[in-house]
């Protein structure tokens, strides 16, 4: 009997090299910052902790971890159709996010080498880890007969400028949420090995420890700069970053719930767990965390999700552009209103939560 593998079509730059996914507000971003301001940052008040974390980075526990073993040596053609499309998308998004971390840390390591050697050393060691993570994911894409041209990605992507303070809020959160995402998938598959349909998930246990250590490095940097954490502005910005990171993940993951279903996870339950854990972790550094138990929190996120699905349907329709725009406008307005509503849900002050969430 001859069976035909259902392979989704992907746009290619060259044979086997996938055209990067279109950039949208929800795709992983590339960042740049004010290197001079970063060079002048005095971290001496928390230098001991930073040195201890750097010493741990140097131990390089995962030096031999990212090696493709015999588990990969088989055909993956049985992952086909929509599941295959979702798998490729997951690997591409993860690879792009890891690679974005690599580029930022590498550039910071290079530029701060002489002016702020302590920070530079931390960034260089973290870029070593992110390069491994991105490389491992890109190699996994070859199991699906594709890969990303990371050099092309470096040159073609737009870079978002953030001042150092915002870089630290954003990287701290993305490392910690990365840790919770990887470990939650790992633990779920440990309990449900029949759902581990591809071997990369076995690597997530040690992998997430890299992200956890990176998060600890940024935790220590933030603690060296109390002015980033202890005034009313810090509270407003921490709120904004927590909300942006959680909302982006929720909208992305719900849209791809098929991927999570393919490994036996419910995307909503998974995201709620990751948000709960990351919010709780952030309470060790940030002056506030979000009140995710407020019923409006997930209510408003669900409304955004339903708006985004409608926006995608309009985009995919054949209506002329001006009609599409008119149909989309109320949904954009609603999304903005939901986001503002979410922002104004009273946050929890972490200094009053001693002994609860810390």
Interface ranges with Fe ion (CB under 5 A)? 98, 130, 133, 175, 211, 214
111/176 with CB nearer Fe ion: 176
- Shortest approach of Fe ion to residue 101 CB, angstroms? 5
Q: Which of 171, 66, 162 is nearest to 122 (CA)?
A: 171
- Shortest approach of Fe ion to residue 27 CB, angstroms? 17
- Shortest approach of Fe ion to residue 152 CB, angstroms? 21
SS3 14: strand
172/298 with CB nearer Fe ion: 172
Asked if residue 237 lies in contact with residue 290, where contact means CB atoms within 8 angstroms, the answer is no
Residue 115: CB atoms within 10 A of its CB come to 14
66/270 with CB nearer Fe ion: 66
- Shortest approach of Fe ion to residue 178 CB, angstroms? 6
184/307 with CB nearer Fe ion: 184
Asked if residue 289 lies in contact with residue 242, where contact means CB atoms within 8 angstroms, the answer is yes
84/157 with CB nearer Fe ion: 157
Asked if residue 165 lies in contact with residue 29, where contact means CB atoms within 8 angstroms, the answer is no
Degrees, nearest 5: CA angle 317-323-328: 75
How are the residues of the chain apportioned to helix, strand and coil, as percentages rounded to the nearest 5? 70, 5, 30
- Shortest approach of Fe ion to residue 304 CB, angstroms? 27
d(CA 34, CA 160): 11
């Amino acid at each position: 009997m001859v069976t035909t593998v259902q392979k989704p079509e992907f746009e290619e730059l060259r044979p086997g090299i996938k055209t990067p996914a279109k950039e949208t507000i929800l795709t992983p971003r590339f960042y740049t910052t004010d290197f001079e301001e970063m060079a002048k940052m005095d971290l001496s008040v928390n230098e001991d902790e930073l040195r201890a974390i750097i010493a741990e980075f140097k131990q390089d526990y995962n030096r031999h971890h990212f090696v493709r073993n015999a588990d990969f040596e088989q055909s993956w053609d049985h992952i086909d159709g929509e599941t295959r499309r979702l798998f490729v998308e997951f690997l591409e998004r993860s690879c792009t996010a890891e690679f974005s971390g690599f580029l930022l840390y590498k550039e910071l390591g290079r530029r701060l080498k002489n002016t702020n050697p302590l920070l530079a050393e931390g960034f260089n060691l973290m870029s070593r880890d992110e390069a491994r993570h991105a490389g491992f994911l890109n190699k996994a894409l070859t199991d699906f007969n594709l890969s990303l041209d990371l050099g092309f990605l470096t040159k073609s992507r737009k870079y978002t400028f953030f001042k150092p303070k915002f870089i630290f809020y954003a990287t701290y959160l993305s490392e910690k949420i990365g840790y919770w995402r990887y470990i939650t998938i790992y633990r779920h598959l440990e309990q449900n090995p029949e759902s581990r349909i591809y071997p990369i998930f076995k690597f997530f246990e040690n992998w997430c420890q890299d992200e956890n250590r990176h998060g600890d490095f940024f935790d220590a940097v933030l603690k060296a700069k109390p002015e980033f954490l202890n005034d009313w502005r810090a509270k407003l910005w921490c709120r904004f970053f927590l909300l942006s990171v959680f909302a982006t993940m929720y909208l992305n993951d719900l849209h791809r719930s098929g991927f999570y279903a393919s490994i036996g996870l419910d995307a909503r339950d998974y995201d709620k767990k990751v948000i709960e854990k990351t919010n709780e972790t952030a309470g060790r550094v940030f002056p506030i965390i979000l009140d995710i138990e407020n019923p409006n929190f997930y209510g408003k996120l669900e409304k955004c999700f339903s708006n985004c699905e409608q926006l995608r349907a309009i985009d995919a329709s054949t209506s002329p552009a001006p009609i599409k725009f008119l149909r989309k406008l109320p949904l954009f307005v609603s999304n903005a209103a939901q986001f503002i509503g979410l922002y104004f849900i009273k946050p929890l002050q972490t200094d009053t939560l001693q002994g609860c969430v810390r």
